[in-house]
Amino acid sequence: MSLVDPAKIRNVAVVGHRGCGKTSLVEAILHTAGVKNRLGSVVDGTTAMDHDEDEIKRQMTISASLAHVDWDKRKFNLVDTPGEASFITEATVTLSVVEGALLVVNAVSKVEVQTERLWRRCEQLGVARLVAVNMLDRERADFDEVLVALGERFGATPVAVALPIGTDLSFSGLVDLLDMKAYTYSGTTGKGQETTIPDDMADAVESARLVLVERIAESDDGLIEKYLEGEELTHEELLAALKNSVAEGRLAPVLPLAATKNIGTDRLLEMIEFGLPSPARAGTRSVPLVDGSGEADIAAELDAPTAIVVFKTISDQFSGRINLAKIFSGRIAGDSQLLNARTGERERTGNILTMVGKESKGIDEAGAGDIVALAKLKDTATGDTLTDPARAVMFPPVEYPPPAISFAITAKVKGEEEKVSSSLKRLIEEDPAMQFRFDPQTHEMIMAGTSQVHVEVVLDKMKRRFGVEVDLHPPRVPYRETIRKASKAQGRHKKQTGGRGQFGDCWIEIEPLPGGEGFLFEDAIVGGSIPRGFIPAVEKGIVETMERGVIAGYPVVGVKVRLFDGSYHNVDSSEMAFKIAGSLAFHKAMEGAAPALLEPVMNVEVTAPEESMGDIMGDLSSRRGRPQGSESLGEMHVIRAQVPLAEMLVYAPQLRSMTGGRGSYTMEIDHYEEVPSHLTDKIVEEAKAAKEE
């Protein structure tokens, strides 16, 4: 395959709320363009894009998937993305490497929460938008109501460029408002037959055409004056102005269709070709140089130095690691040598592939603006930049939202902990929104994700691919202990067993540190009551003892220790004896220093519909939450509160229930504070039980 002119490429992220029919629409596009002989179905698992076992079982897209389509001598790279909130990061990351988005809306459910979230993401990134109103063949589908909802949410940007012929089950075609032509469909070829505009639609078509012309004129400074003076705008002027306005985000054409019946797909493909910008039109972007000396302008030019960004990693048990990558500039062949800007190591591009779901085809070379798959890279992961060493640049790293839910995991088969760890690290390569770590305080393996569904999907993959199973538990809260007043104590260790004995004796004073954090050791020995060589041993014994406090065995923080006296024996004293003496002294001193249990308090930010605010505020209060303010974001509201971590371990399912799945939250630790006395006994009992286990 020869290199494709960047001006003839369209890179499109297919995005939308779960259940709007994105995968079915991509399936219809593949069939209409001749890539597939028949329409596959999400229901029976025969689509090209949802090929993973979990996707087929759950009947939803979980992972972004690439499809290459040739249409009218153009190359379309379509990326089908998840709409389920648990996996929406796949869509937001994909939007960072494309010039256009096809936003799919369910004609029955109208504008849903992820629709709005993804629209705003497109605005932030400057990604041009088309809107496909899908499922117009369903009962209660209403194109006009969808247009109203789009206008209420997104202002004057969405504008209909076609009207549906028929409603609900009688939906059979559409009227193109730009060319003023009607098309009807029979069978599932996806290619409409031109016909006359139905007489009963004449008024509606005229009215919608007038709105379209006005919106196009208003979006173009050169046309608005001509339009207001009553001059008729030519067809060519309207098309040129619409094309510019879509590319610059001022307008988003809206089209009606039904993917499962393949109605309107050819008109959609024409609008993608006409309306969405090519990489060549996207212009230049400034990217930092690796050496920190400045920035380089990157444009979709074949003869420029090469710069590639990996936006998705697929870890296949048979094919190995496959990286989906956008070539922002330059060109690559199978033997191209590039620099990984993150690792500083050279990578050979190796096998270059075009993809249609899991099916791949090798190509000899690829160039600027294209999206391809790269197989068998040594150490390249999602977010990495592969760059020409002569002009080494590094695109900003992908930012993933903090995880919303965490679980402690234990291997079902004892002794497989290392296998669990290595398997999860492999899976995180293709899903960086998942996190995995070992908590040194609680000695637990912790995995965290965007939701319980997210975690369950990853564990299903681990079982299927690597034969490893785990049990999930709520993670232990990393409590701490501290002191509230000063205290003195002696630590004396004396042991005589025949021969050389052991002797160490020290006096310490402990007091709370301002701020309640950290540890400070002061050597106040004078007169040699403890030789200088034994003082570090006293401190070491104290530090080790602080790992397990006297209340419930949690680490101790916020303490200043002053070593001020002691005694020693010329023969029997040793570092070990003074280490034990320091440990004994600290334990006694802490018991007399009014010890207290501390718990982590989180900054929590909840985003949810206005109608759920009362329930959420009441629920947070019941979790010992303290409101910190709120603000409105359109129809969504944001509540900020500080809530103890112990009350948030299983918050995600409750929030989903309260908001009908529309709510989301983030949290991060802010500080530690004392646990209320009425809860301390319960925590102590739980700690004792865990220790006995």
User: What's the rounded mean pLDDT across residues 116-145?
Assistant: 94
Q: Tell me what pLDDT residue 102 has.
A: 98
Confidence of residue 319 (pLDDT cuts 50, 70, 90): low
User: What's the rounded mean pLDDT across residues 260-286?
Assistant: 95
CATH 3.30.70.240 region(s) of the chain? 597-692
Mean residue pLDDT of the chain comes to 90
Q: Which of the pair, 268 or 497, is modelled with greater confidence?
A: 268
Q: Tell me what pLDDT residue 693 has.
A: 64
**CA-CA distance, 255 to 169, in Å (whole number)?**
18
For residue 604, pLDDT beyond 60: yes
User: Do 92 and 119 meet the contact criterion of CB atoms below 8 Å apart?
Assistant: no
CATH 3.40.50.300 region(s) of the chain? 6-194+246-275
Decide yes or no: CATH 1.20.1540.10 for domain 481-593: no
At 327-345, the pLDDT tens digits run 999 999 988 999 999 999 9
For residue 633, pLDDT beyond 70: no
In percent, how much of the chain has pLDDT > 70? 98
User: What's the rounded mean pLDDT across residues 592-617?
Assistant: 91
User: What's the rounded mean pLDDT across residues 471-477?
Assistant: 84
- Half-sphere exposure in the Cβ direction for 55 (13 Å, CA): 25
At 225-259, the pLDDT tens digits run 888 888 888 999 999 999 999 999 999 999 999 99
Q: Which of the pair, 653 or 643, is modelled with greater confidence?
A: 643
> For tokens 């380089």, what's the residue?
296
CATH 3.30.70.870 region(s) of the chain? 405-473
Q: What would the DSSP string read from start to end of 392-448?
A: -B-PPPPP-PPPSEEEEEEESSTT-HHHHHHHHHHHHHH-TTSEEEEETTTTEEEEE
Q: Which residues contact 618 (CB under 8 A, 6 or more apart)?
A: none
For residue 416, pLDDT beyond 80: yes
Which has the minimum average pLDDT: 182-191, 399-408, 450-459?
Answer: 399-408
Confidence of residue 297 (pLDDT cuts 50, 70, 90): very high
At 551-577, the pLDDT tens digits run 988 899 999 999 999 999 998 999 999
Short-list 569, 500, 497, 489, CA closest to 529: 569
Q: Tell me what pLDDT residue 316 has.
A: 67
What CATH number should be reported for the domain whose range is 597-692? 3.30.70.240
What CATH number should be reported for the domain whose range is 405-473? 3.30.70.870
Confidence of residue 661 (pLDDT cuts 50, 70, 90): confident
Q: Tell me what pLDDT residue 204 has.
A: 97
User: What's the rounded mean pLDDT across residues 291-312?
Assistant: 94
- Dihedral through CA 415, CA 416, CA 418, CA 421, nearest 10? -140
Q: Tell me what pLDDT residue 317 has.
A: 63
Task: Retrieve residue 145's tokens.
Answer: 């109501």
Q: Tell me what pLDDT residue 335 has.
A: 87
Q: Tell me what pLDDT residue 678 has.
A: 87
- CATH fold of 6-194+246-275 reads Rossmann fold (3.40.50)
Decide yes or no: CATH 2.40.40.20 for domain 285-391: no
**CA-CA distance, 125 to 104, in Å (whole number)?**
18
Q: What would the DSSP string read from start to end of 450-475?
A: SSHHHHHHHHHHHHHHH---EEEEPP
